[in-house]
């Protein structure tokens, strides 16, 4: 049987003494490695030689690490066993510039952290005691050297790392990004394995096909290496219960076997489905390589799923506000699906600290938030196998960027060759995963070239339009995985801002023209693959990075708070949106809450109005929305919807409600007294001189069948005791949005209304009315969806109006506590929290009188519950 010896012990490390001529003479100062795989920052931190770079200003104290060289050394035993005629070393990831020596002989030179390296060894070169030496050089210094040789190019902006990064195939976010620190680490960050064998299975390509007629089949290509002593392959297929479904023994007389088996699996297997559409059914393929006597020489096992995925770009039947153009939608197993999800950045700057459990926690959080797609952004890394395996299990579709982001990358021969191998290595590793829905050439490279307007040469077009699509096509047949040149991309002359073709990134709200978030309804496109609003993380996360900071740093505009917010011009951009919506405050906790509510309101609004544009066959005007971003790589204020410690922000729960199988939405359109009066962001509270408003109510359904429901409208005036209720029977059309109701917004009659601030009774009485909509099952009475539309801006709501809403929490404790929430008056943005990290089934809710809501709280135990809401922003019990 072949042997896989993982070299995960007996590692030591040291800083390279550059005054010593040879790395083999650099003998002083070796320290025992605490981790394997390893990164130098982790080792230095565990050895107590550097402070935590995620705390305070410590990031700036560790910049020297990326400018020097580092050595790693591993000693390992090898005793050759009978019939082991061959050996190799497999390196799954070396970050980044590394010379590799085995027993004093250089066997490998690497300059691309995204490649897998297989180094054949002569068995006689392996001794009873062996030494593997890794010499890591500075990627930072090489980048500047190459920049000097080849020229300085445009790459991002001042907060997107040094432009020289484009010349080196190292994770681009390591150079700093607008949500992450500059930590130029290095090391053997993925496993190194010694393999010894007589013969082995070198490569397997499984083609799990679901035909257009929904008939499943499986064919397999196998590549063998080693001595030609093999006799056969035993191939088996098992279900999730390890029940054998099919097996076959086939001869294995040549090295490359195409279609070694070709099985019709009708009535034996079920399709793999994404979140919300069915079970993510997985099956295990096992291949045994047998000798003539039937002994196992090698084995290979992997999980597969049967599905077909297509990217549909076809003409729309009718025009929307943007015109006609084409769709940009994903069809899985013949079903057109609205994609709701988020963008993924690496979950840590120190990749070796991300455990399989942590990956699972992140992706489970995503799945539990009703998200069915995650986009792996092009400035990070190709994640390890466990990431994609977990996506397979959870039913999460993956949009996989190739690793290029926000820059003018070169395309000289050696660079293109390195990228081609990088692409081949990762496509071969990932192509069998049913979760992989798209490969994408880059992040924002086309867009930035267009925005800059002064880039004369864009050489990487060769990579995005020739190299990568050819590799994807060649390696992912016979049911190719779709390829998209870049994100965003589309339109005439690759106009990346064209809302009628391809995908778009919508940044005119936070950045760009800095428009009000209510303009999301006028923006968007056929597929919104990036947009977002930042929000501060949980106060416990802020307390982590503040550590023992002096009292004067504990305010929103302190230097230490700015150290942990990298968004460009964030003070000015926050101020615009925050000052429009909220009253100015210098209290840190109030400010944090307000940023979180702003993020939740703005992003939730975007999901709501864009999902409304999933309007049925031929009218799929917006077919997907992916928020920037799901996660963080360190404790920071960013666009993330859950912070570094997996603590969801309020926006996470709002998105989950907007992506539920059934939703209800409200749009309030104010009738102005003059056409040029207040813009949309001054919603109703400030339009005292308006003549009322119109309510448009719609519902969405992900179900493939129609649903009957009862629509309830409940209006409550914040300034008086006036209320209003009405009900309507409705039908939700399958797999689309359905317009349900368009009525004048109810308001109290003049004789009951609070005096209009203008003193003129001719104008509206609706400016202080909260309108709530619920969808109920007409038979069971179950609430299927709810939404509350509040008059805005919130800064006009007087504290006395909301401060004492008669909130009651009834807590039934157990392994998972049940929290029943009710109130006598409307509550905006009720956030429940605890000293402990509690998993809430829902949070950041709007509460209406007479509408009891139940929230499950895992991990609460005997802990108390703190509450915060609009006009009571600091936590209280």
8-64, pLDDT tens digit by residue? Answer: 999 999 999 999 999 998 899 999 999 999 999 999 999 999 999 999 999 999 999
- 113 confidence band (pLDDT: 50, 70, 90): very high
- The predicted model gives 440-444 an average pLDDT of 97
pLDDT at residue 857 in the model: 97
pLDDT above 70: residue 335: yes
Which residues touch 125 (CB under 8 Å, ≥6 apart)? 102, 103, 105
What gap in Å lies between CA 831 and CA 865, rounded to an integer?
10
Average pLDDT, integer, range 619-627: 98
pLDDT at 683 over 70: no
Chain mean pLDDT for the chain = 94
pLDDT, residue 615, reads 97
Options 1.20.1270.10, 2.60.40.10, 3.40.50.1110, 3.30.1330.30; CATH for 804-877 is 2.60.40.10
Q: Judge whether 51 and 57 are in contact, CB under 8 Å.
A: no
pLDDT, average across residues 623-650 = 98
pLDDT of residue 609: 97
* Separation between Cα atoms, residue 786 and residue 53, nearest integer Å: 43
The answer to whether residues 564 and 553 touch, using CB atoms and an 8 Å cutoff, is: no
Q: Which CATH architecture has domain 660-797?
A: Sandwich (2.60)
3-state secondary structure of 185: coil
Q: DSSP for 490-521, please give it.
A: -STTS-TT-TTSSBEEE-TTTSTT---GGGGG
Give pLDDT, residue 672.
Answer: 76
pLDDT band at 175 (very low <50, low <70, confident <90, very high): very high
Percent of the chain at pLDDT above 70? Answer: 97
Say if residues 792 and 683 touch (Cβ distance below 8 Å): yes
From the CA atom positions of the chain, what is the Rg in Å? 29
Q: pLDDT value at position 711? A: 98
Q: What percentage of the chain reaches a pLDDT higher than 90? A: 86
The CA-CA-CA angle for residues 868, 604, 854, to 5°, reads 50
Residue 1: pLDDT band with limits 50, 70, 90: confident
How distant, in Å, are the alpha carbons of 206, 247, 259, 330, 431 from that of 305? Answer: 10, 17, 18, 17, 11
Closest CA to 366 of 334, 329, 393: 393
- Select from 3.20.20.80, 3.60.15.10, 3.40.50.10190, 3.40.1380.10 the CATH code of 309-658: 3.20.20.80
Chain centroid to Cα 81, Å, comes to 46
Element (H, E) at 110: strand 105-110
Cβ pair 374, 344 in contact under 8 A: yes
- Inform me whether the pLDDT recorded for 159 exceeds 80: no
* Residue 687 confidence class, pLDDT cut points 50, 70, 90: low
- Decide if pLDDT at 232 tops 60: yes
Residue 761 has pLDDT above 80, yes or no: no
CA distance 594 to 599: 9
Q: Kindly report the pTM of this predicted structure.
A: 0.96
Phi, psi of 45 (to 5 degrees): -70, -45
Q: Write out the residue limits of the CATH 2.60.120.260 domain(s) in the chain.
A: 3-194
| pLDDT category of residue 227 using cuts at 50, 70 and 90 | confident
Task: Quote the CA–CA distance of 45 and 43 in Å, as a whole number.
Answer: 5
Q: Are 125 and 103 in contact (CB under 8 A)?
A: yes
Q: How far apart are CA 524 and CA 250, in angstroms?
A: 53
Per-residue pLDDT tens over the stretch 454-469: 999 999 999 999 999 9
Residue 677 pLDDT greater than 80, yes or no: no
pLDDT at position 801 is: 85
Look at the chain and count its residues.
877
201-304, CATH topology level: Immunoglobulin-like (2.60.40)
User: For residue 228, what pLDDT is reported?
Assistant: 63
CATH of 3-194, one of 2.60.40.10, 2.40.50.140, 2.60.120.260, 2.40.30.10: 2.60.120.260
Q: Could you tell me where in the chain the CATH 2.60.40.10 domains are found?
A: 201-304, 660-797, 804-877
Question: How far apart, in whole angstroms, are the C-alpha atoms of residue 565 and residue 465?
Answer: 36
Confidence class for position 800, pLDDT limits 50, 70, 90: confident
**What positions carry a catalytic annotation?**
444
The residue among 664, 877, 871 whose CA lies nearest residue 783 is: 664
CA distance 641 to 603: 10
Average pLDDT over residues 444-454: 93
What pLDDT shows up at residue 684? 60
383-435 tens-digit pLDDT: 999 999 999 999 999 999 999 999 999 999 999 999 999 999 999 999 999 99
Statement: residue 553 has pLDDT above 80: yes
Q: Return d(Cα 702, Cα 785) in angstroms, integer.
A: 13
DSSP strands (E only) in 628-744: 662-670, 693-701, 707-717, 723-732, 736-744
């Amino acid at each position: 049987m072949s042997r896989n010896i993982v070299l995960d012990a007996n590692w030591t490390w040291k800083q390279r003494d550059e005054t010593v001529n040879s790395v083999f003479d650099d003998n002083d100062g070796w320290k025992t490695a605490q981790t394997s795989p390893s990164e130098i920052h982790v080792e230095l931190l565990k050895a107590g030689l550097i402070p935590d770079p995620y705390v305070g200003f410590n990031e700036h104290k560790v910049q020297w690490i990326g400018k020097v060289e580092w050595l790693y050394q591993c000693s390992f035993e090898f005793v050759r066993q009978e019939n082991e005629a061959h050996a190799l070393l497999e390196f799954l990831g070396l970050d980044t510039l590394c010379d590799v020596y085995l027993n004093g002989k250089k066997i490998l030179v690497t300059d691309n952290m995204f490649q897998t390296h297989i180094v054949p060894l002569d068995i006689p070169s392996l001794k009873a005691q062996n030494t593997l030496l890794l010499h890591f050089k500075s990627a930072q210094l090489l980048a500047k050297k190459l920049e000097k040789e080849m020229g300085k190019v445009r790459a991002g902006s001042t907060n997107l790392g040094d432009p020289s990064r484009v010349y080196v195939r190292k994770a681009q976010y390591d150079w700093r990004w607008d949500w992450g620190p500059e930590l130029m680490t290095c090391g053997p960050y993925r496993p190194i394995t010694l393999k010894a064998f007589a013969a082995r299975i070198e490569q397997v390509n499984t083609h799990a096909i679901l035909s257009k007629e929904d008939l499943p089949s499986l064919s397999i290509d196998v590549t063998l290496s080693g001595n030609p002593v093999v006799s056969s392959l035993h191939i088996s297929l098992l279900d999730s219960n390890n029940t054998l479904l099919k097996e076959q023994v086939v001869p294995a007389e040549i090295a490359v076997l195409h279609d070694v088996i070709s099985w019709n699996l009708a009535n034996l297997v079920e399709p793999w489905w994404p979140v919300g559409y069915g079970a993510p059914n997985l099956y295990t393929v096992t291949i045994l390589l047998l000798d003539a006597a039937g002994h196992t020489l090698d084995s290979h096992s992997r999980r597969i799923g049967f599905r077909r995925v297509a990217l549909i770009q076809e003409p729309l039947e009718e025009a929307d506000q943007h015109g006609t153009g084409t769709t940009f939608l994903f069809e899985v197993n013949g079903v057109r699906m609205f994609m709701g999800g988020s963008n993924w950045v690496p979950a840590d700057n120190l990749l070796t600290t991300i455990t399989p459990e942590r990956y699972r926690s992140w992706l489970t959080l995503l799945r539990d938030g009703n998200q069915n797609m995650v986009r792996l952004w092009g400035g990070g890394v190709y994640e390890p196998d466990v990431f994609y395996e977990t996506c397979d299990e959870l039913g999460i579709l993956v949009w996989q960027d190739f690793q290029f982001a926000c820059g003018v990358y070169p395309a000289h021969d050696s660079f293109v060759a390195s990228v081609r191998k990088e692409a081949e290595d990762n496509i071969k590793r990932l192509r069998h995963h049913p979760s992989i829905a798209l490969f994408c050439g880059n992040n924002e490279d086309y867009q930035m070239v267009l925005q800059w307007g002064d880039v004369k040469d864009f050489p990487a077009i060769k990579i995005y339009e020739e190299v990568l699509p050819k590799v994807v096509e060649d390696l992912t047949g016979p049911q190719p995985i779709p390829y998209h040149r870049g994100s965003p991309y589309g339109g005439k002359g690759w106009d990346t801002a064209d809302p009628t073709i391809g995908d778009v990134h919508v940044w005119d709200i936070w950045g760009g023209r800095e428009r009000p978030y209510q303009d999301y309804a006028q923006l968007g496109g056929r597929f919104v693959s990036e947009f977002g609003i930042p929000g501060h993380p949980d106060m416990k996360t802020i307390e982590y990075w503040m550590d023992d900071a002096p009292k004067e740093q504990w305010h929103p505009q302190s230097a230490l708070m700015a150290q942990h917010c990298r968004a460009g011009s964030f003070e000015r951009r926050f101020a615009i949106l925050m000052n429009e919506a909220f009253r100015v405050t210098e209290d840190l906790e109030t400010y944090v809450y307000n940023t979180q509510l702003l993020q939740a309101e703005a992003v939730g609004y975007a999901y709501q109005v864009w999902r409304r544009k999933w309007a049925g066959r031929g009218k799929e005007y917006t077919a997907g929305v992916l928020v920037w971003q799901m996660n963080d790589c360190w404790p920071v204020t960013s666009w993330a919807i859950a912070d570094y410690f997996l603590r969801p922000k309020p926006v996470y729960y709002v998105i989950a409600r907007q992506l539920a199988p059934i939703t209800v939405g409200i749009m309030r359109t104010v009738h102005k007294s003059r056409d040029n009066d207040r813009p949309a962001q001054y919603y109703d509270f400030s339009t005292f001189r308006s003549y009322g408003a119109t309510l448009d109510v719609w519902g969405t359904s992900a179900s493939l069948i129609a649903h009957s429901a009862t629509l309830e409208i409940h209006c409550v005036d914040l300034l008086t005791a006036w209320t209003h209720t009405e009900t309507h029977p409705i039908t939700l059309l399958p797999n689309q949005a359905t317009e349900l109701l368009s009525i004048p917004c109810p308001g109290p009659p003049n004789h009951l209304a609070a005096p209009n601030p203008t003193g003129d009774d001719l104008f509206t009485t609706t400016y202080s009315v909260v309108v709530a909509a619920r969808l109920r099952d007409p038979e069971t009475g179950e609430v299927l969806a709810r939404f509350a539309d509040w008059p805005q801006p919130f800064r006009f709501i007087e504290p006395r109006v909301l401060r004492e809403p008669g909130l009651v929490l009834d807590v039934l404790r157990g392994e998972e506590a049940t929290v029943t929430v009710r109130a006598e008056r409307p509550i905006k943005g009720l956030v429940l929290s605890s000293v402990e990290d509690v998993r809430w089934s829902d949070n950041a809710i709007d509460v209406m009188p007479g509408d009891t809501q139940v929230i499950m709280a895992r991990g609460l135990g005997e802990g108390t519950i703190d509450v915060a809401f609009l006009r009571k922003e600091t936590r209280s019990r």
